[in-house]
A = this chain, B = another copy of it.
Amino acid sequence: MVRLDQDSPLRPAATPTSRDLLGHRGAVVWLTGLSGSGKTTLARALEQELLGCGVLSAVVDGDELRLGLSQGLGFSREDRRESIRRAAEVALHLAEAGVVVIVAHISPLRDSRALAAERMRERGIPFAKVFVNTPIAICEQRDPKGLYKKARTGQIASFTGIDSPYETPEHADLEIRTDRECVGESLAKLTPLALSLAEHSSAAMA
């Protein structure tokens, strides 16, 4: 479709970019933390909040990936690395299409998280790492999927925080303590972070 600029009737207008269409750029907000720390809950709540602000948003959830793209990967260090790598690649594709992506992934390995961040940087995708820092005692008490119980009784091996390491982030852009604050309080920090990465301003929508 050839359209003409209003100012210059002889010059065809450039094709709009995804940013022109959406009014914001793609970005990645990466939530890391133990199983049961509240990553998926926060990710879904943030997605809804962003959609409500007119920002195209999507969640990439580590558990769901294991039913699809990461099917067949286990919980060895090598498979965890690959699982984090694939989550990052999917997030990259989405963000390059203009979507603000919220990744909810235990992502316990420091070097793999760094690789994900580096991958975004080299492709010019804004990225923030959020440490969902819920103490393991609280996560185990919540145990929403009964996984801690299974890990403690030996029915599951290589469970993060029990018999597989969680490497605490050294430089998170944001830390969330779901044991001390409600979802609304966490969102009050996450939403401005995401909107700022996306360079979205509500004023631009008016």
Interfacial residues, chain A to chain B (CB-CB below 8 A): 1, 3, 15-18, 21-22, 48-49, 51-54, 56-58, 60, 68-69, 86, 89-90, 92-94, 96-99
Which of B16, B53, B68, B93 meets A58, CB within 8 Å? B93
Given contact pairs A51-B15, A53-B1, A69 touches B90 in the complex (Cβ within 8 A): yes
Between-chain CB contacts (< 8 Å), 11 pairs: A15-B48, A16-B51, A21-B54, A21-B56, A56-B56, A56-B97, A58-B96, A68-B89, A68-B92, A69-B86, A99-B99
Other A-B pairs, 11, CB within 8 Å; known A68-B89, A93-B93: A15-B52, A16-B51, A18-B51, A18-B57, A56-B56, A58-B97, A93-B94, A94-B94, A94-B99, A97-B97, A99-B99
Q: Once the chains are docked, how many angstroms separate the CA of A92 from the CA of B69?
A: 10
In the complex, the answer to whether B56 meets A98 with C-beta atoms within 8 Å is yes
Bound CA span A89–B15, Å: 28
Q: Are B3 and A52 in contact (CB under 8 A)?
A: yes
Tell me which of B22, B49, B90 contacts A93 (CB under 8 A): B90
Complex contacts, A15 vs chain B, CB 8 Å: 48, 51-52
Write the nearest CB–CB distance from A97 to chain B, whole angstroms: 4
Question: A21–B1 Cα gap in the complex (Å)?
Answer: 22
Q: Point out the residues of chain B lying under 8 angstroms from A17, CB to CB.
A: 51
Chain B residue numbers with a CB within 8 Å of A98 are: 56, 99
The smallest beta-carbon distance between A103 and chain B, in angstroms, is 11
- Tell me the minimal C-beta distance from A180 to chain B in angstroms: 23
Question: What is the distance, in angstroms, from A29's C-beta to the closest C-beta of chain B?
Answer: 14
What distance in Å separates the Cβ of A17 from its nearest Cβ neighbour in chain B?
A: 7
A18 cross-chain contacts in B, Cβ below 8 A: 51, 56-58
Q: Given contacts A69-B86, A99-B99, are A93 and B60 in contact (CB under 8 A)?
A: yes
